[in-house]
Structure 1
Amino acid sequence: MPRFMGFVKMEEGIGAPPQALMDAMDGYIGEQAANGAFLDGGGLYGTEDAVNFVVRKGETSRVDGPYAEAKEVVGGWALLQYDTLEEAIAGQAEFAELHAKYWPECSMVATLRQISEAPPEAADA
């Protein structure tokens, strides 16, 4: 059964979501967990405590948050499992619609990506 990652990207520092959205999300996630589609997920803290490790030209450097240049950040994630890609897309659309309905002043992007089950092939293979 294919697995997917859902991401929520939105402007940082816009405040807490309305209680109506939180209530709607609780119901939606509960339903999705009960039918086996929602495996795990949650919100993320802001970038003030984020740590990035950047690799460039064979060198690794650490860059601590906050990141003033970041306009939008990943604010939440979900590990999902559906029978088909079409079902996963419908589920992510429903998730996005909850935000449009209960937090219309929020601009966000809900991204869905399928998880690769095969190990990556080496570039020099």
Structure 2
Amino acid sequence: MPRFMGFVRMEEGVGRPPQSLFDAMDAYIGERAANGTFIDGGGLYGLEDAVNFVVRDGTVSRVDGPYAEAKEVVGGWSLLQYDSLEEAVADQQEFADIHAKHWPEVTVVATLRQISTGPE
């Protein structure tokens, strides 16, 4: 059964989502956890405490937040499992629709990526 990662990207510092979005997402995730589609996931804190390790020219550098140049951040993630790519895409559309309905003033990019199972 194919697995997928879902990511939610949005502008940093847009404020707390409305309670109606939290309520709708609780119902959405609860249904998918019950049917085995939602494996794990959650929201992420802002960039103020983020730590990046940058590998460049064979050297590793640690870069601590906050990052003044960051405009868009990953605000949440999920590990999902579906019977098909088509089912995954349709469900990601529903996820995006929930955000459009409950938080229309914020631009959200909902990304779905299939997880590689190794060399192809």
- Both structures adopt the same fold (TM-score exceeding 0.5): yes
Aligned residue pairs total 120
- C-alpha distance after superposition, 1:39-68 (max 9, x if no partner): 000000000000000000000000000111
Q: Structure 1 segments of 4 or more deviating over 4 A?
A: none
Residues 62-73 of structure 1: matches in 2 within 5 Å?
62-73=62-73
- C-alpha distance after superposition, 1:74-102 (max 9, x if no partner): 00000000000000001111001000001
* TM-score normalised to structure 2 length: 0.98
In the alignment, structure 1 residue 51 sits paired with structure 2 residue 54: no
User: What's 2:111 paired with?
Assistant: 111
Identity of aligned residues (%): 78
- C-alpha distance after superposition, 1:12-38 (max 9, x if no partner): 111110011110000000011111110
User: What's 2:36 paired with?
Assistant: 36
The Cα RMSD (Å) is 1.0
In structure 2, what is the Cα distance between the partners aligned to 1:14 and 1:55?
30
In structure 2, what is the Cα distance between the partners aligned to 1:67 and 1:93?
30
In structure 1, what is the Cα distance between the partners aligned to 2:29 and 2:114?
19
1:5 to partner: Cα distance: 0.1
* TM-score normalised to structure 1 length: 0.94
- One-letter amino acid of the counterpart of residue 84, structure 1: S
- Structure 2's unaligned 5+ residue stretches are none
In structure 2, what is the Cα distance between the partners aligned to 1:20 and 1:43?
16
- Structure 1's unaligned 5+ residue stretches are none
- One-letter amino acid of the counterpart of residue 73, structure 2: V
